[in-house]
Structure 1
Amino acid sequence: MGAKDTKKPESVVLFLRQLGFSEVHVRDAVRVSPQILFADIEKTLKPKLQLFQEIGLTGSDLGRFISKNASLLSVSLDRRLIPCMEILKKILSLNGDHRRLILVLQRCKWVLTKVPEARLLPNISLFESHGVVGSQLSTLFSRQPTLFLMRESAITDQVRRVVEMGFSADSRMFVHALHTISCMKPETFSRKFQLFQEFGFTKEECKTMFKKMPVLFRCSEEKLKLGMEVFMDAIGFEKTVLVRRPTCLMYSIEKRVVPRYRVIEILKSKRLLKKEPKFLEVLEMPEEKFVDKFLSRFKDDAEELLIAYKGDVLDSSEEYESS
């Protein structure tokens, strides 16, 4: 390769470094899309990169984004990047704040690479025809942008599954249910339902929990199983409590549930509580309130209570086994 052959790549690297790209950013971008080294800086690279700078990606942030999504620099500016970007801005109702747009692009660069008339615009219309409009549409797009690039038949099938679970499009939970349904295989979702049933929950109770908190079913099967074992077997919750308040199963068992349970049990054993609190209420307390009400007040027992509360940090294996 002669001096003339290397001149353009060298100038491209220099241009990117001047924009704030690190050596690692440049190297990773070239690995993803080698052709950018031979792109015209003024006609191709600069206007495309300016499009991303205008939404707040500058310096090292721009370098980090392009290093992972350098193929976007090979996409047509006028036919795809600009039209798609304008559509996204409209859907997301940004009002000058582009953080949600950047998050969407980080989650799914493909929304900028397809001809908008092929999938993006038809799918937006499809969701709107099902009643997903305004803030619901914006929320769905923010959470699961890949949905808007799926085949019409796949979207229709997922909407049908959500409706069959008892959701209506005007429910604020509809898009959260659709997000959950769309981000896992049907058999995975069915296994989670089956897991609840193995602990004695009926199908209707599972549906009720899903309707109240769709995000719960995005938790791993391991987390759900551990949660039910602790709440139902160790703490003694009736399943009706979890049906009524499925948020319980979202809390960290190791960092919140078990430590708070230990503290309350010690206070009860020492008869230090004038009135025994409902553990559900204890669980839902903000951290500061819990510490103030059940730790700070009991200075004579502070060390024992603190060890019970922070034991999972001091010695997780020994403390957990003893619980």
Structure 2
Amino acid sequence: MFCFLRRIVASRRQISPSTFQQLLCVQNQWLPSTAKYCNSISSNGHSFTVSYLIDTCGLSPEEAASASKYVRFESREKSDLVINFLKNLGFSKSQIIRFTREVPQLLRYDPEKTLLPKIEFFISRGVSSSDIPKLLCSCPDIMRRSLDKQLIPSFDFFRDLFQSDDKFLKSLTCCPGIILHTSTRVVPNIFLLREAGVPESNVIRLLLVYPRTLTINTSRFKMIVKELQEMDFDPLRSLFVMAVYALSSLSKSTWSKKANVYKKWGWSDEDIISAFRASPFCMKVSEDKIEAIMEILVDKLGCPPSTIPKYAVVLTLSINKRIIPRASVFQVLLSKGLVKKESLLAIFVCTERDFLKRYIRCDDEESCKLLKYYQAKLSCKRNEERKVMGMH
């Protein structure tokens, strides 16, 4: 109809003015009803999509409305195939909700053609079928990436790097996103570490234990490496990659807040950097825990704040399982003149075996009493911890 009118309008000099006016009236009569019809289709499609996402996929109305911006369908045929496919893979209801919320576009795909080949590839590389739902829900966007152009090349890169499929699968399970950013972030970030002098063994260690670190923006990663170099971190030591992880997980404001807590206890900026070099995780400890441990060390045990940075690892230890029980033993030994105050921090950092051998020898009646006292403190604190966690 409209094409016909356009042709007539284009040649309007060949018809009379009155006839042309009549045709325009006909066009105006058609336009409102046609627009209404088109809007109805669009509205109905949107309404059906939202209802389907709520009723079948389990999304909330808000989540469904948001997801419907990226996908729209007027029948449930294709989407039902995807949902059933996920259920057959072992997806739970909550996993289906998360998957469809993150990548609603996949509800329009043919699961046999687009999803199954990727699933079969993961299984062929050692991912167990029972781990597939967890893997895909951790990073649903994997299913949108090309098998031949991205997933296979990424797998091959990490297999060659690790020289082991099992090691790579450990990293993949921890952070599936590493295969989405292999060429854009992981490879450039690894290059920056190598360029800084980090041994390959420590690069592999970072990928194994903290793989997400290597997926951060390369410009930020470069700044972190430079900052650690300025702090005189030795790139040959494993502490360097631990510090990379610690800094990558801290914002400037978070660092500042924790630094202020340490300064409250008399530390200088130099003390904070010194502590960070000794134990990077001392800046990941919560502010409350910093306060609690410093109170025990400084106020209750009389430890000079300036001596703590060298033993900053103490701040990362468990208060209930390590700090309080050993502090109690130290106070008993100190009262009997069996230890010096200067050895206070050393008592916390030694292994359990060395602690018992060095401080609780169990070679006489007094030592046996001290051991029972120590075990009672441990048991008491564990029970308190269970109560807090609701594990009576």
TM-score (norm 1): 0.77
Q: Which runs of 5+ in 2 are unaligned?
A: 1-47, 49-73, 386-392
Given that 2:190 and 2:214 are in contact with CA atoms closer than 8 Å, whether structure 1 keeps it comes out as: no
Partner of 1:84: 154
Given that 2:206 and 2:242 are in contact with CA atoms closer than 8 Å, whether structure 1 keeps it comes out as: yes
Given that 1:19 and 1:58 are in contact with CA atoms closer than 8 Å, whether structure 2 keeps it comes out as: no
Partner of 1:312: 381
Paired residue type of 1:250: T
Q: How many residues align?
A: 306
Given that 1:21 and 1:63 are in contact with CA atoms closer than 8 Å, whether structure 2 keeps it comes out as: yes
1:222 and 1:44, CA in 2 relative to 1: closer, same or farther beyond 3 A?
same
For residue 52 of structure 1, report the CA deviation from its aligned partner. Answer: 2.6
Counterpart among 270, 277, 283 of residue 348 in structure 2: 283
Partners of 1:301 and 1:151 lie apart in 2 by: 54
Given that 2:308 and 2:345 are in contact with CA atoms closer than 8 Å, whether structure 1 keeps it comes out as: no
Aligned-residue CA RMSD in angstroms?
A: 3.5
For residue 250 of structure 1, report the CA deviation from its aligned partner. Answer: 1.5
Partners of 1:95 and 1:117 lie apart in 2 by: 19
Q: How does 1:1-323 map to 2 (within 5 A)?
A: 5-94=75-164, 96-106=166-176, 109=177, 111-114=178-181, 116-142=182-208, 143-152=210-219, 154-266=220-332, 275-276=338-339, 278-287=343-352, 294=360, 307-314=376-383
Partner of 1:319: none
Given that 2:266 and 2:306 are in contact with CA atoms closer than 8 Å, whether structure 1 keeps it comes out as: no
Partner of 1:321: none
Partners of 1:299 and 1:26 lie apart in 2 by: 57
1:101 and 1:308, CA in 2 relative to 1: closer, same or farther beyond 3 A?
closer
Paired residue type of 1:160: K
1:237-268 Cα shifts (integer Å, max 9, x gaps): 23354233222222122332112323454576
Partners of 2:310 and 2:252 lie apart in 1 by: 25
Paired residue type of 1:312: K
Given that 2:262 and 2:272 are in contact with CA atoms closer than 8 Å, whether structure 1 keeps it comes out as: yes
1:305 and 1:204, CA in 2 relative to 1: closer, same or farther beyond 3 A?
closer
Paired residue type of 1:112: I
Given that 1:257 and 1:283 are in contact with CA atoms closer than 8 Å, whether structure 2 keeps it comes out as: yes
Paired residue type of 1:310: S
- Of the structure 1 ranges 253-262 and 193-202, higher mean CA displacement relative to structure 2 is found in 193-202
Paired residue type of 2:252: P
Paired residue type of 2:294: M
Partners of 2:212 and 2:283 lie apart in 1 by: 19
1:148 and 1:90, CA in 2 relative to 1: closer, same or farther beyond 3 A?
farther
Partner of 1:211, secondary structure, is: helix
For residue 234 of structure 1, report the CA deviation from its aligned partner. Answer: 0.7
For residue 28 of structure 1, report the CA deviation from its aligned partner. Answer: 3.2
Paired residue type of 2:217: M
Partners of 1:204 and 1:56 lie apart in 2 by: 48
1:166-220 Cα shifts (integer Å, max 9, x gaps): 1243333222222222221223324433433332233333322221211222212
Partners of 2:276 and 2:292 lie apart in 1 by: 18
Given that 1:119 and 1:148 are in contact with CA atoms closer than 8 Å, whether structure 2 keeps it comes out as: yes
- Of the structure 1 ranges 76-85 and 22-31, higher mean CA displacement relative to structure 2 is found in 22-31
1:243 and 1:45, CA in 2 relative to 1: closer, same or farther beyond 3 A?
same
Partner of 2:175, secondary structure, is: helix
Paired residue type of 1:60: S
Partner of 1:245, secondary structure, is: helix
Partners of 2:368 and 2:234 lie apart in 1 by: 52
For residue 73 of structure 1, report the CA deviation from its aligned partner. Answer: 0.9
Q: Which runs of 5+ in 1 are unaligned?
A: 317-323
For residue 7 of structure 1, report the CA deviation from its aligned partner. Answer: 4.1
Q: Which has the larger radius of gyration?
A: 2
Paired residue type of 2:254: T
Partners of 2:361 and 2:324 lie apart in 1 by: 15
For residue 146 of structure 1, report the CA deviation from its aligned partner. Answer: 4.5
